[in-house]
Amino acid sequence: MRIIRTIDYRDMSRKAANIISAQVILKPDSVLGLATGTTPLGTYGQLAAWCAKGDCDFSKVHTYNLDEYRGLTHEDPQSYHYFMRKNFFDKINIDIANTHVPDGSNPNADEACAEYDRMVEEAGYPDLQLLGIGRNGHIGFNEPDDVFSKGTHCVTLTPSTIEANSRLFEREEDVPRQAYTMGVQTIMRARSILVIANGEAKAQAVYDMCFGPVTPKVPASILQLHTNCVVVADEEALSLC
Ligand code: GLP
């Protein structure tokens, strides 16, 4: 694991965008694994700005997002489908047909998850997987558990995740209780992984991810075993490291 310490959120976002941009320059038809949440917003904004200037070309890129709330349509403003279009895909020159997010609108969890696994496998798994981290050390929606998960599956969100994500909803009751998420094993298949984190609220999770025991109680800790994982985090998120 390589740790890159940044001054602040802006610096984190630019450095992360640089890594993603380099990936796309070196391999224009890259498969990117993408994440939602507030952490990547600055990274997406920077990439969109470079794309508008002609400095980053996404026309041949394929993307696979980590997760989606179960029960939301693609048009629902709270869905990750909508989030990705609004904050990234609509601002870059990507072919929307090449973008993929688990189908939260399919109530049949087994079918939706198996279909997503098939697509990710067929794409050959991401060249670069971008990850945020939850305050409890979750990646995607892989919550602390007794075992590391494998493929895409349906999860019931923990109260702490529901509370953390409620800031993006009008009321806490509106946060969906379940989600479809890529599994930890699938995430580990990416050829390179870029974790971004900022702010004091992530300090414990970042410390546990980088220096704690490798345990499914902190799903992100397994990234210590990945051979090509970079953590780009600001001073506050690294304050315990
Ligand atoms: C959600 C997402 C994760 C994300 C996490 C942290 O639970 N499923 O992929 O990493 O939130 O979000 P934020 O970046 O807003 O702190």
Ligand 1 neighbour 182 (Cβ under 6 A)? no
Give me the pLDDT at residue 87, please: 98
C-alpha–C-alpha distance, residues 100 and 8, integer Å: 30
pTM above 0.90, yes or no: yes
- State the distance from the centre of ligand 1 to the C-alpha of 179, rounded, in angstroms: 12
173 contacts 203 by C-beta, under 8 angstroms: no
- Which of 67, 72, 131, 133 has the most ligand 1 atoms within 8 A of CB, as the residue to mutate? 133
Q: What is the mean pLDDT of each run of 10 residues along the chain (241 residues)?
A: 98 98 98 97 98 97 97 94 98 98 97 97 98 96 94 93 87 92 98 98 98 98 98 98 95
Establish whether 81 is a catalytic residue.
Answer: no
Give me the pLDDT at residue 168, please: 83
Establish whether 55 is a catalytic residue.
Answer: no
CB atoms within 10 A of CB 72: 18
Domains and CATH numbers, the chain: 2-234 (3.40.50.1360)
Q: 224: buried, middle or exposed (CB in 10 Å: 19+, 13-18, 0-12)?
A: middle
Ligand 1 neighbour 130 (Cβ under 6 A)? no
128 contacts 189 by C-beta, under 8 angstroms: no
CB atoms within 10 A of CB 27: 13
Give me the pLDDT at residue 217, please: 97
Ligand 1 neighbour 157 (Cβ under 6 A)? no
Establish whether 143 is a catalytic residue.
Answer: yes
Minimum CA distance residue for ligand 1 atom 3: 140
CB atoms within 10 A of CB 187: 26
Ligand 1 neighbour 84 (Cβ under 6 A)? no
